[in-house]
Amino acid sequence: MEFLLEGTGDQARYYFLEMNTRLQVEHAITEQTTGVDLVAAQIRIAAGEVFPWSQGDLTPRGHSIEVRVYAEDPLRDDLPQAGPLLLYRQPSLPGIRIDAGVTEGDEISVHYDPMIAKLIATAATREAARRRAIEALRAYPILGIHTNLPFLIRLLEHPRFVTGEIDTGFIERERRALIEGLDAPPPPEVLAVANEIRNGVGGHLKRTLQDAVPDPWESLRGWRT
């Protein structure tokens, strides 16, 4: 069940948004806080097996925060980006789960949603999960395209987010503070890696992308009805 919150205090108003009777992008939050595997359960049920648990079997614990890592430019009204992932290294840290469908060398296409991955941070408390999420985002190098990684870090560090004083108008009201300085040049070590890739791996990567298997949606060969 999804709701929207407008305003705060006595003026707060809640709006019903939707009920998802399917796996949604945020299903990882449920899995992390209840310890169940919704995907496996869905497959077993589709195969005719008995539902693996009842509501009374589930006991939520801890707190999870999920962010969507997107190929978009926060400084240009979140304009979607397209291009190769010259460098893509997922963080491996305690309490961090990454759900991604890309690897280094893949290309973000203009034909699909530009979401690169979901990063889910889980800990005993909201504050601990927030800190874990920031640590993981700082250890998530992606080169080749603009991403919203700096924006996500800035958002998680914002004082109003820290205290939970957020609603549907939070980003628009705080946009200047959230994007100010995001156009600063990358650290020297990042620039060094980018230069190495451009001079070395870049040429190989370009050939690899050119020789890649065509998009399956470009042909109907092999499809069965």
The pLDDT of residue 91:
94
- CATH 3.30.470.20, the chain: domain bounds: 62-212
Q: What is the mean pLDDT of residues 150-160?
A: 96
Q: pLDDT-derived band of residue 208, with 50, 70 and 90 as boundaries?
A: very low
Coil, strand or helix: which one is 58?
Answer: coil
Asked whether the beta carbons of 137 and 152 are under 8 A apart, the reply is yes
The pLDDT of residue 206:
47
Q: Report the CATH architecture of 62-212.
A: 2-Layer Sandwich (3.30)
Catalytic residue among 22, 176, 221, 224: 22
Residue 212 has pLDDT above 50, yes or no: no
Residue 120 has pLDDT above 90, yes or no: yes
Asked whether the beta carbons of 87 and 194 are under 8 A apart, the reply is yes
The pLDDT of residue 72:
95
Q: What percent of the chain has pLDDT over 70?
A: 84
Output the CA torsion 194→197→200→202 (10° steps). Answer: -120
The pLDDT of residue 201:
53
The pLDDT of residue 189:
63
Q: Which pTM was predicted?
A: 0.79
Beta bridge partners of 80: 72
Asked whether the beta carbons of 88 and 74 are under 8 A apart, the reply is no
22 labelled catalytic: yes
* The amino acid at 80: P
Q: pLDDT digits over 134-148, tens only?
A: 999 999 999 999 999
* Mean pLDDT computed over every residue of the chain: 86
